[in-house]
Structure 1
Amino acid sequence: MSWFRKGRVAGLLLSIVLALIVAGCGGNNDNAPESSSPPGSPSPSASESPASESPSPSESPSETPKELVKVKFSEVIRSIFYAPHYIAMSKGFFAEEGLEIDMNTAQGSDKGAAALIAGTADISLVGPETTIYIYNQKGEKTLKLFYQLTMKDGSFLLSRDKLDSFDWSGLSGKKVIGWRPGSAPQMVLNSTLLKEKIEGADVVTNIASTAMAGAFASGQGDYIQLFEPVASTLIKEGKAYYAASLGEAYGEFPETSYVATSDYIANHPEIIQKVVNAVAKATAWLETASDAEIAEALKPFFEGTSDDIIVSSIKRYKDQQTWPAKPEMTPELFETLQGVLIENGVLKPEEKLADMSAVVDMSFVQKINS
């Protein structure tokens, strides 16, 4: 996920300032439709961590559970795209590391980054481009990403009508309900349309993420771009048909990363390492667990979503190799990221970072199995 296009950056900076003011007043980010979870994926309460109150597997029932360190965590949206994080919570991998995750859903990378700057979040799961934007503002705080969770875009293109076969040329003259301007899925879709030399597609970008599926179900648009499990839910209800995977169509793209302020990383390296260890363990668990085990682990975070939809959503993401065995932001991926930002007009060529170490710290990933 990411920020607005060039020309709207000033507005986004204003949103961060407003977020800082709200944080200082003790408010919360619930003033827009985006404050709720997507249809079919209600979220647990902000402080819920299904396994954090139980002793870890290494403790016997007679032992006094060790006190857990609370980490304020902000996720960009609620999606099975981020399954390893929820599994690390439900399977107790964070608790084994001595951490309790106090989670909230920001509904936008701009809001997740603002929470870090304001100090209302310690760690955020957001688009890595936010680190570049904040760095280029030359403010008092900078952000660094320390774990690259996903290596593909996580959205899927659905059609209103059942197609015998899908071809990108079919989008010409059609209305597509897409994501907000400057967001990662919107930029990946736009870059894919440019790559496929598609002209005349009407991409609607002014519908709140939580209202997109409802708008399509009510008759708006010929196509829609959705994440899981909302995509599979709409398909199961007979309101849409699968057309294409944006992740497969575009290829490798570092869409979502764990990010913290440079100060927090410097002052709490042990917490960062523990977060990295827990998520890496959850990713490995996901590769070998049965469908039933995966559904059971994810259900607390997707109440009302059936097991079969959870399982099919996981399969879609596994099939496109979403979660890498080594969650590393490489120089090649960083170059891809900046290329997309420049192509979509949200980063000027002269603002491109020559040295990714200014906003990337992969030292914790290197220590996962050490």
Structure 2
Amino acid sequence: MKVKWKGTVGLIAMILMLSACGKEEVKEVQLGEVARSIFYAPLYAGIEKGFFEEEGLAIDVTTIPGGDKTMTALLSDGVDIALIGAETSIYVAGQNPNDPVVNFAQLTQTDGTFLVSREKVENFDWNMLKGTTFLGQRAGGMPQMAGEFVLKNNGINPQEDLTLIQNVDFANIPNAFASGTGDFVQLFEPTASIFEEQGMGTVVASFGEELGAIPYTVFMTKESTLGDKELIEGFTRALYKAQNWVYESSATEVAKAIAPYFEDTDLALIEKVVERYRDQASYAKDPIIDENEFENLLQVMKEANKLETDPDYTKLVNRTFAEEVVK
């Protein structure tokens, strides 16, 4: 199922406006995002602040829940660019497609999930998870792999030291926890903060801070699309402007800019989440996909026994455009 961004009217208006100004070659870009999340704030800010417009690009965002579905949309030409976890491109690379998928710009550089405890915890220690029921993310996805990696680094064996639940669909994890499943849960924002505000749980740790830097969410496209250098360079330049703006502006300004994408979320909550993600540097500060961070990603996948090939960074990542705009 595809969930279209409600700003289509604004998109059309922008195209008409640019045409009226004499900029006739406006390129509409179909972008598929794996989720609608404040974790992706620089993308939405870039659209709302007109950075993509300045590059002659009209970005039409479609939310396609599930990494496999987003990747399918990219491979079938349903979208031009996909915003998804870098691990997905590694899975596809093992299938040797005729038109390989290439990662070209990074949006987030840490895990975006938080550990939420059902009960209030004083002086949290990871050993407190032993003997409890932990409601994790979907098996094989980066959130779950990162979560298990962090648990192991803190002396917790996910298969032996606790009861690990990972068969709940991504969209239903919050509801499962709210209905009484699990003592601890791994949640993205703003759900983690909403649970805190409603007294349903307490954020006790950040998987992003524990895991360190990895190319968690990146923009990728097919190799053939990279041939449109004007498109990819313009997109990457707009993204870099947005990344700078998100860190240079106040959390209040950022929250106001991206609020149209979260109509049912209180502005103060959006601001809180933006600040939390900025404080732990979850938003990448430039679009370059660093090789060392990529190796960290591979290590997480190896630990989860999900790496069946020996990925070649030079084939999976094209940093030409990102390096050029950062100059």
Question: Which TM bucket (shorter chain)?
Answer: over 0.9
Alignment equivalent of 1:273, drawn from 227, 230, 233: 233
Residues 114/337 of structure 1: CA separation in 2 closer, same or farther (3 Å cut): same
Q: Which residue of 2 is the match for residue 172 of structure 1?
A: 130
Q: Which residue of 2 is the match for residue 326 of structure 1?
A: 286
Look up the SS of the partner of 2:317 in the other structure. Answer: coil
For normalisation by structure 2, the TM-score amounts to 0.93
Q: Deviations over 1:192-215 (max 9, x none)?
A: 111112132222112122211122
Note the residue ranges of structure 1 that are not aligned, 5 or more in a row: 1-28, 31-35, 37-42
CA distance in 1, matches of 2:191, 2:23: 37
CA distance in 2, matches of 1:338, 1:249: 17
Q: CA RMSD in A?
A: 2.2
1:283 aligns with 2:253: no
Map 1:67-106; keep pairs closer than 5 Å.
68-106=26-64
1:214 aligns with 2:171: no
1:367 aligns with 2:324: yes
Amino acid at match of 2:319: M
1:152 aligns with 2:110: yes
Note the residue ranges of structure 2 that are not aligned, 5 or more in a row: none
Q: Which residue of 2 is the match for residue 254 of structure 1?
A: 215
Map 1:31-70; keep pairs closer than 5 Å.
44-45=5-6, 48=8, 50=10, 53-54=13-14, 63=21, 66=24, 68-70=26-28
Contact 1:52/1:99 (<8 A) preserved:
no
1:308 aligns with 2:308: no
Amino acid at match of 1:48: T
Shift in Å at residue 323 of structure 1? 2.0
Residues 175/146 of structure 1: CA separation in 2 closer, same or farther (3 Å cut): same
Shift in Å at residue 56 of structure 1? 11
Shift in Å at residue 231 of structure 1? 1.3
Shift in Å at residue 155 of structure 1? 0.5
Alignment equivalent of 2:298, drawn from 338, 344, 347: 338
1:183 aligns with 2:170: no
Contact 2:107/2:217 (<8 A) preserved:
yes
CA distance in 2, matches of 1:90, 1:119: 25
Q: Which residue of 2 is the match for residue 16 of structure 1?
A: none
Look up the SS of the partner of 1:149 in the other structure. Answer: strand
When structure 1 is superposed on structure 2, of 327-336 and 137-146 the one drifting more is 327-336
Q: Deviations over 1:152-211 (max 9, x none)?
A: 101011110011121111111211222111111100111111111213222211212221
CA distance in 1, matches of 2:77, 2:100: 12
Q: Deviations over 1:45-100 (max 9, x none)?
A: 3x63856734899x8x9845645311111111111111000111111111111111
CA distance in 2, matches of 1:270, 1:132: 26
Q: Which residue of 2 is the match for residue 356 of structure 1?
A: 313
Amino acid at match of 1:115: A
CA distance in 2, matches of 1:96, 1:339: 39
- 1 or 2, which has the higher strand percentage? 2
CA distance in 1, matches of 2:131, 2:258: 39
Q: Deviations over 1:257-310 (max 9, x none)?
A: 1000111112x1211111111111111111122233212111111111111111
Amino acid at match of 1:216: F
CA distance in 2, matches of 1:142, 1:264: 10
Contact 1:150/1:322 (<8 A) preserved:
yes
CA distance in 2, matches of 1:176, 1:52: 46
CA distance in 2, matches of 1:265, 1:222: 46
1:233 aligns with 2:191: no
Contact 2:137/2:170 (<8 A) preserved:
yes
When structure 1 is superposed on structure 2, of 280-289 and 132-141 the one drifting more is 132-141
Contact 1:148/1:258 (<8 A) preserved:
yes
Look up the SS of the partner of 1:368 in the other structure. Answer: helix
Q: Which residue of 2 is the match for residue 203 of structure 1?
A: 164
Moved over 6 A (4+): none
**Number of equivalences:** 324
